[in-house]
């Protein structure tokens, strides 16, 4: 367990850097940290929450997460080897040579060096034009059913027919189609999903993430209004989910969704099933987070289709 992890401090140490292909950091986060290290020797971070393979810290009200190498990279995270999380007692950052950032962990005197080549661009840059047909949507639904997990939104809505979740889902779908006529009804339906369900990222937030991803991918006309509704109501969920959705509102998504955008761009109508299977082969994360996110993707694609 990590103890006394209260700040990131500059430390001079230039030998025995640990290099691994699993060290990654969001490009924008790297740039932000490096810029701050140019102006100060010490970055004071507030301890937010600690887990076996994740450390959540806050810098000027911004959440930064250090993840184990086997986790999915997010816009506010960096990944380090699993060994990093063994009895860490303190942590220090320093601006290194050649645009690098040095991370020094005092658990076993390991030193890690993040370089520009470790940066991953998680900014969504694709603007999708194609409109997928009903055959594609039917196959996507079948894959959702095949890959469902216990107590995911898909299972609760389509298998167990949970009245509470089914009503909220149906309401949001209908209100999305009539947003021009009744924006207030849509806002209320959308806010019903914020913070819905248990977990570090509640199922409702994962669903909104996938849904917002498609709306931005297609650059729908109501995106500015929808973004404002989400931004104004982030207090309905927890800090980790709020950080995830804040980044999504800025066009930054986790690595799985960036890969999904590339796959959707390349999908060939002649081989829908093979193309969709590529999306569902992406690594799961959380208990049901990825499945809930993909339900949001499906729902938004259905709305765009209509």
pLDDT score recorded for residue 9: 37
Pair (54, 181) in one structural domain: no
pLDDT score recorded for residue 109: 63
Mean pLDDT of 92-114: 80
Pair (261, 150) in one structural domain: yes
Please report whether residue 3 resides in a domain: no
> Where does residue 60 fall: left (phi above 0), alpha (psi -120 to 50 degrees), or beta otherwise?
left
Given 120, 148, 165, which residue is the final one in a domain? 120
Q: Is 137 helix (H, G, I), strand (E, B) or coil?
A: helix
Among positive and negative, which fits the CA dihedral 73, 217, 184, 288? negative
Please report whether residue 12 resides in a domain: yes
Task: Report the domain count for the chain.
Answer: 2
Mean pLDDT of 55-64: 86
Strand order in the sheet with 91-95: 17-18, 110-114, 101-105, 91-95, 8-9, 42-43
Q: Which two tokens stand for residue 269?
A: 């109508």
Pair (174, 279) in one structural domain: yes
> What is the tens place of the pLDDT at every residue in 271-283?
888 889 999 999 8
Pair (211, 153) in one structural domain: yes
Please report whether residue 1 resides in a domain: no
How many other C-beta atoms lie within 10 A of the C-beta of residue 139? 16
CA–CA gap between residue 293 and residue 242 (Å, rounded): 15
Pair (162, 17) in one structural domain: no
Pair (208, 295) in one structural domain: yes
pLDDT score recorded for residue 5: 40
What is the residue-averaged pLDDT of the chain?
A: 86
Mean pLDDT of 93-107: 81
Please report whether residue 273 resides in a domain: yes
Report long-range pairs for 224-231 (Cβ below 8 Å, ≥24 apart). Answer: 225/179, 225/183, 226/190, 229/186, 229/187, 229/190, 229/191, 230/190, 230/194
Residue tagged 């850097």 (tokens): 17
Gap between the terminal Cα atoms of the chain:
50
pLDDT score recorded for residue 18: 40
> What is the tens place of the pLDDT at every residue in 133-144?
888 999 999 999
Pair (243, 145) in one structural domain: yes
pTM assigned to the model: 0.89
> What are the beta bridge partners of residue 120?
26
pLDDT band at 105 (very low <50, low <70, confident <90, very high): confident
pLDDT score recorded for residue 241: 95
The strand pair at 24-26 and 77-80 is best described as antiparallel
Could you tell me which residues come within 8 angstroms of residue 227 by beta carbon, excluding any fewer than 6 positions away?
Answer: 212, 249
Please report whether residue 128 resides in a domain: no
Could you tell me which residues come within 8 angstroms of residue 192 by beta carbon, excluding any fewer than 6 positions away?
Answer: 168, 171, 172, 204
Pair (111, 152) in one structural domain: no
pLDDT score recorded for residue 272: 86
Could you tell me which residues come within 8 angstroms of residue 289 by beta carbon, excluding any fewer than 6 positions away?
Answer: 199, 201, 203, 206
Pair (213, 70) in one structural domain: no
pLDDT score recorded for residue 19: 41
pLDDT score recorded for residue 129: 85
Mean pLDDT of 53-58: 87
Please report whether residue 126 resides in a domain: no
Pair (193, 88) in one structural domain: no
Please report whether residue 2 resides in a domain: no
pLDDT score recorded for residue 258: 96
Pair (101, 153) in one structural domain: no
Q: Which two tokens stand for residue 142?
A: 């079948």
Pair (155, 282) in one structural domain: yes
**pLDDT > 90: percent of the chain:** 56
Given 54, 89, 120, which residue is the final one in a domain? 120
Residue tagged 């995830």 (tokens): 244
Q: Is the pLDDT of residue 20 over 60?
A: no
Q: Which two tokens stand for residue 54?
A: 């994740």
Q: Is the pLDDT of residue 3 over 80?
A: no
Q: Which of 20-29, 147-156, 169-178, 229-238 is least confident?
A: 20-29
Q: Is 273 helix (H, G, I), strand (E, B) or coil?
A: helix
Mean pLDDT of 2-14: 36
> What is the tens place of the pLDDT at every residue in 179-223?
999 999 999 999 999 999 877 899 999 999 999 999 999 999 999
Contact 293, 210 (CB under 8 A): yes
**For residue 218, what are the domain limits?**
134-305
Given 120, 155, 185, which residue is the final one in a domain? 120
CA atoms within 13 A on the CB side of 76: 23
């Amino acid at each position: 367990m990590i103890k006394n992890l209260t700040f990131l401090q500059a430390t001079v140490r230039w030998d025995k850097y640990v290099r691994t292909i699993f060290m990654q950091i969001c490009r924008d986060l790297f740039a932000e940290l490096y810029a701050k290290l140019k102006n100060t020797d010490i970055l004071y971070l507030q301890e937010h929450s600690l887990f076996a393979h994740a450390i959540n810290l806050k810098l000027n009200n911004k959440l930064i997460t250090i993840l184990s190498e086997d986790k999915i990279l997010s816009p506010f995270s960096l990944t380090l080897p699993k060994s990093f999380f063994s009895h860490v007692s303190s942590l220090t950052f320093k601006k290194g040579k050649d645009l690098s950032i040095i991370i020094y962990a005092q658990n076993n005197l390991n030193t890690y060096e993040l370089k520009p080549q470790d940066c991953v661009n998680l900014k969504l840059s694709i603007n999708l034009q194609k409109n997928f047909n009903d055959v594609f949507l039917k196959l996507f639904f079948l894959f959702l059913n095949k890959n469902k997990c216990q107590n995911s939104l898909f299972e609760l809505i389509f298998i167990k027919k949970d009245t509470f979740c089914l009503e909220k889902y149906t309401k949001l779908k209908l209100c999305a189609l009539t947003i021009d006529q009744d924006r207030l009804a849509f806002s209320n339906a959308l806010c019903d999903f914020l913070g819905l369900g248990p977990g570090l990222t509640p199922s409702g937030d994962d669903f909104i993430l996938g849904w917002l991803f498609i709306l931005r991918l297609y650059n729908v006309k109501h995106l500015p209004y929808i973004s404002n509704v989400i931004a104004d109501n982030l207090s309905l969920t927890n800090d980790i989910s709020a950080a995830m959705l804040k980044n999504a509102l800025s066009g930054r998504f986790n690595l799985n969704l960036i890969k999904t955008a590339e796959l959707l761009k390349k999908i060939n109508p002649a081989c829908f099933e093979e193309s969709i299977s590529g999306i569902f082969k992406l690594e799961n994360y959380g208990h049901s987070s990825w499945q809930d996110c993909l339900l949001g993707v499906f729902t938004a694609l259905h709305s765009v289709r209509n």
